[in-house]
Amino acid sequence: PDQPHAMHARSVILLGFLAGASAFLSGPAPVAFGRTGRMALSQKLHMSTVPKVPYDGAAVTGPSGPTVPGDGDLDFLEAKPYWDQSGVTVNVAKQKNPHIGKIVSVQRMVGPNAPGETCNIIIDHDGKLPYWEGQSYGVIPPGIDPKRNKPYGVRLYSIASTRYGDDKTGKTTTLCVRRATYWCPELKADDPAKKGVCSNYLCDSKPGDEVKLTGPSGKVMLMPEDDVTQTYIMVATGTGIAPFRSFLRRLFGEANPAQKNFQGLAWLFLGVANKDALLYDEEFQVYLRQNPDKMRLDYALSREGPLNKKGGKMYIQDKVEEYADEVFDALDKGAHIYFCGLKGMMPGIQDMLKDVCKAKGLDFEEYLEGIKKKGQWHVEVY
């Protein structure tokens, strides 16, 4: 009963842009979209395996380590049919009446040479805050905001686990949090007075600590699972990997209906500073080995990778421009394009798209308005 109807092959391009600028390593040759393109990609991957980036970071273990579907079904949190999003809930818990969750574990997940610290944080919500892949939780840090002399407000974090949680109980969630610090040029050290309140609160938390949660929030980043031939292209920098990690775990790491029916392609680009800063690499490598015809993985290391065509560091817009023909072709065929992260990333992206439109003889504003009207343009920046 949950087998979705066959729809025309279409593509979904998801771009997650978060803290820091990153460069992308040169990937395999461009591929076409759709069933024929997917077949060519499958053959290409079998012929030459995507090179593995040596990983010197800190592997995430326990329930957050690599997981495989296994036997049996994992479907107790599915809609009927499973792709029906009409029942997706938002704001079950609000700031005035937050849900009290408990920290299960906090684990550093980057190596010693990574810039900054990023933690994998599991929180027990006791099944009281159900969510879908692509949604976010709000966290309310304790204390008074000295600027407003009022309690701190909600900080939003994209969820990095599937609705079942990394332990598959349906009672936990996982956040991928980078500790926000401020380097003071006068002190020549981090200034503790200007550190990120909520990120440091979460990264410093201990198992058993209570945490105030709100949400879930957002419907912009939900996966359109009604077409099992869907192609997902996910581009993330840093902790922008969070929602896409939940996508890949749902598609390849659990015995849920989406995993059982998926016949499409999940293509992930992840940009970080160096190999020590890679996030969830050990997990993604497992999925890639087990699903060579359904997954593609390209890493970008801005401080260790090649330069862009102008001789500078390869930023996100530069890499997207390399695949501009495929991106525009996919949009012409009904693809959805998603942007998530710092709003400061968007000007470079839009400037690049304007240049591509000009080269193609298209009016950018008119083109953008067209795909917006068709519901193909999704932006969630802050």
pLDDT at 341: 62
Of the two residues 235 and 210, the one the predictor is more confident about is 210
Q: What is the mean pLDDT of residues 113-134?
A: 96
Of the two residues 351 and 101, the one the predictor is more confident about is 101
Statement: residue 320 has pLDDT above 70:
yes
291-300 residues labelled b (16+ CB within 10 A) or e (exposed): bbebbbbbbb
Annotated catalytic residue 198:
no
Q: Residue 38 — pLDDT band, cuts 50, 70, 90?
A: very low
Annotated catalytic residue 369:
no
> What is the rounded CA–CA span in Å between residue 270 and residue 234?
8
- Active-site position among 48, 86, 366, 382: 382
Q: Residue 1 — pLDDT band, cuts 50, 70, 90?
A: very low
* CB contact at 8 A, 236 and 270: yes
Statement: residue 361 has pLDDT above 70:
yes
pLDDT in tens, 229-241: 888 878 788 898 9
- Active-site position among 225, 254, 326, 380: 380
Q: Residue 190 — pLDDT band, cuts 50, 70, 90?
A: low
- Please tell me the number of Cα atoms within 13 Å of 209 on its side-chain side: 17
pLDDT at 183: 59
pLDDT at 47: 36
Q: What is the mean pLDDT of residues 315-343?
A: 76
> What average pLDDT does the chain have?
82
Q: What is the mean pLDDT of residues 351-358?
A: 92
- Active-site position among 157, 287, 299, 315: 157
Judged by DSSP in three states, 94 sits in strand
Mean pLDDT lowest among 18-32, 85-99, 205-219? 18-32
Statement: residue 41 has pLDDT above 60:
no
- Active-site position among 11, 22, 136, 158: 158
> What is the rounded CA–CA span in Å between residue 4 and residue 131?
21
Q: What is the mean pLDDT of residues 352-357?
A: 92
Annotated catalytic residue 380:
yes
Q: What is the mean pLDDT of residues 43-66?
A: 67
- Both tokens of 48, joined, read 């030459």
Of the two residues 76 and 223, the one the predictor is more confident about is 76
Cα–Cα distances in angstroms (integers) from residue 47 to residues 50, 79, 148, 269, 313, in the given order: 10, 39, 60, 20, 30
Statement: residue 85 has pLDDT above 90:
yes
Statement: residue 80 has pLDDT above 80:
yes
pLDDT at 39: 42
Q: Residue 220 — pLDDT band, cuts 50, 70, 90?
A: confident
pLDDT at 194: 64
pLDDT at 349: 75
Q: What is the mean pLDDT of residues 247-275?
A: 90
Statement: residue 360 has pLDDT above 90:
yes
Mean pLDDT lowest among 111-125, 283-297, 304-318? 304-318
